[in-house]
Structure 1
Amino acid sequence: MTRDTIKYIAIFTMLLNHIANVLLPENTILWEVFIDIGYFTAITMCYFLVEGFYYTHSRRKYGERLLIFAGISQVPYMMAFDFSQLNMIFTLFICFMILVIQDKMIASKWRVPLTIILLVLSIYSDWAILAPVFTLWFHAGWGNRKKMVQAYGIGAVLFAAFNYASYAETLPAAQALFHAIFSAAGIVVSGIIIICFYNGEKSEKAPKFSKWFFYIFYPAHLLILSLIKMWIV
């Protein structure tokens, strides 16, 4: 699979997750299936963020694109979800800045404190803490297949544990465990696809279209979903 193919899969799974969050009644089977399928997206985007950090022609322009589209996406994000937190592209920008710190401040005494500050800032954004932690793991294991497998494995267990704690507040232990394990399936599938089937190449067809489509789709689909929600209500 090419990079763009996997990204299109991630976009589709994200769309299902957002349709569930914005339009579907909570705690239905379809709602939960769409929600859990969508968990494929965030960790996949963290992986490609790290890859992009290593391979981009201009890290500065890469960071600027993330920040610009994070700003563009914020109002549609708040309209769609009624959240006051920052959207996922802001989270990816925070992750990007964490990578900059790891790369530019290897021997600096400020590397760890600044990284912690950014981790704390991520609390106010989508996929708080988890996305930056995934990014750090991918950065630490980059180029090492075994470490990537470990990163995905630990990520899936951490996410399942996080969700188990949430489910256990309202469900019996066995049922909470089932839901928690199922919620981590998207992360496991992401790991299998990237580690086993990703060929490390981008698509040869319309690469510029794909590049900008990924940025534009995020605010566009949030705006459309929010308008549909307003129309239904």
Structure 2
Amino acid sequence: MVIDHINIYLGNVLHLPLWVSLLGRFVAPLFIFFIIEGFYYTHSRQKYFLRLFVGGVLMYGINLLSNILMNNTTNPYTKQFDVFYLFQGQNIFMTLALVLLWIWILDTMIVNHLHIARYTMLIIALVVIMPFIIISEGGPYELVMGLIFYLFRGNFKRISMGVTIFSILLFVHALMTYFGQVEVGSLYQTLTFDDEYMMITVLPFIYLYNGQRGGNGQKWQKNLFYYFYPIHLIIIYILSNIF
């Protein structure tokens, strides 16, 4: 993850090769995998969601401040202020929170015998949340991964098939982008830019998962990522502005 973020913001300065972007494509799917695992293991799904959601709101604030201070609020095409660019930046917290909420609602519909009125309300909730997932960081891809990990949980063979098929479709899409459009660069440039097909590299890590919690259960280990994620991005944002 750190390498991926360094590549995004400092890759040109460090003259990193284009293939570096491929190295981190397993990270977000692995986060999603453990979000689904956490969905079943957590003592409170509500607190689990709120931790991620609050982290997402915090990251929006950090991105907002960073873009204002660095004057990254102008659309490079229209040369005008764009509110979307005001909040641009990394925010996997919000993606994880929204995917968790979507899966939670879906699970409620599948597991429980609901009255038609509540069932309808939950379907509406799924539809309402969908656009927010689509515009979140990697949202469409991670939602598909979340569905695969949720529906096939505990069955590595089916998870492998689902992830492989999805990755092949994304690879075909990348090829279609290259062969179907003009001035998109070389095939190498296209495949290292439209590179979500490399999410297939998450499979070895899932295979090695033994279903046990890592570490010794201390609170700092549980909360480490919640602190590390924003801190390392703040440092990278500052370095990006300096260089």
Q: Aligning the two structures, in what range does the TM-score lie when normalised by the shorter sequence?
A: 0.7 to 0.9
State the Cα deviation string for residues 113-163 of structure 1 (Å, max 9, x = none). Answer: 432332222222110311112111211111222221122212322433444
Instruction: Tell me the distance in 1 between the aligned counterparts of 2:178 and 2:88.
Output: 22
1:184 equivalent in structure 2: 197
Match of 1:11 in 2: none
Deviates more, 1:148-157 or 1:53-62: 148-157
What corresponds to 2:185 in structure 1?
Answer: 171
Q: Residue in 1 aligned with 2:82?
A: none
In the other structure, the counterpart of 1:128 is 139
Q: Which residue of 183, 198, 219 maps to 2:230? A: 219
Is the Cα–Cα contact under 8 Å of residues 77 and 222 in structure 1 kept in the other structure?
Answer: no
Question: Higher RCO, 1 or 2 (CA under 8 Å, sep at least 6)?
Answer: 1
Matches within 5 A, 1:44-193: 44-78=30-64, 79=66, 82=72, 83=85, 84-85=87-88, 87-106=91-110, 108-168=119-179, 169=181, 170-171=184-185, 175=188, 179=192, 184-185=197-198, 187-193=199-205
2:11 alignment partner in structure 1: 24
State the SS of the aligned residue for 1:171: coil
Q: Is the 8 A contact 1:167 1:180 kept in 2?
A: no
The percent identity for this pair of structures is 26
State TM-score, norm by structure 1. Answer: 0.79
Offset of residue 176 of structure 1: 6.5
Question: Displacement of 1:32 after TM fit?
Answer: 2.2
- Structure that is richer in helix per residue: 1
> 2:6·2:236 contact (CA, 8 Å) conserved in 1?
yes
| Secondary structure of residue in 2 paired with 1:32 | coil
Query: Which segments of 5 or more consecutive residues in structure 2 lack a partner in the other structure?
Result: 73-84
Shift of 1:165: 4.7
User: RMSD of aligned C-alpha atoms?
Assistant: 2.7
Q: Does the Cα contact within 8 Å between 1:164 and 1:180 map onto a contact in 2?
A: no
2:233 alignment partner, SS class? helix
May I ask how many residue pairs the two structures share in their alignment?
214
Whether contact under 8 Å (1:85, 1:124) holds in the other structure is: no
2: distance between equivalents of 1:58 and 1:42?
23
Alignment partners' CA distance in 2, 1:97 and 1:37: 28
Structure of greater Rg? 2
Aligned residue number for residue 205 of structure 1: 216
Q: Does the aligned pair in 1 maintain the 2:25–2:201 contact within 8 Å?
A: no
5+ residue gaps, structure 1, are 1-13
Instruction: Report the equivalent of 2:28.
Output: 42
CA distance in structure 2 between the partners assigned to 1:223 and 1:66 by the alignment: 18
Q: Distance in 2 between matches of 1:225 and 1:113?
A: 39
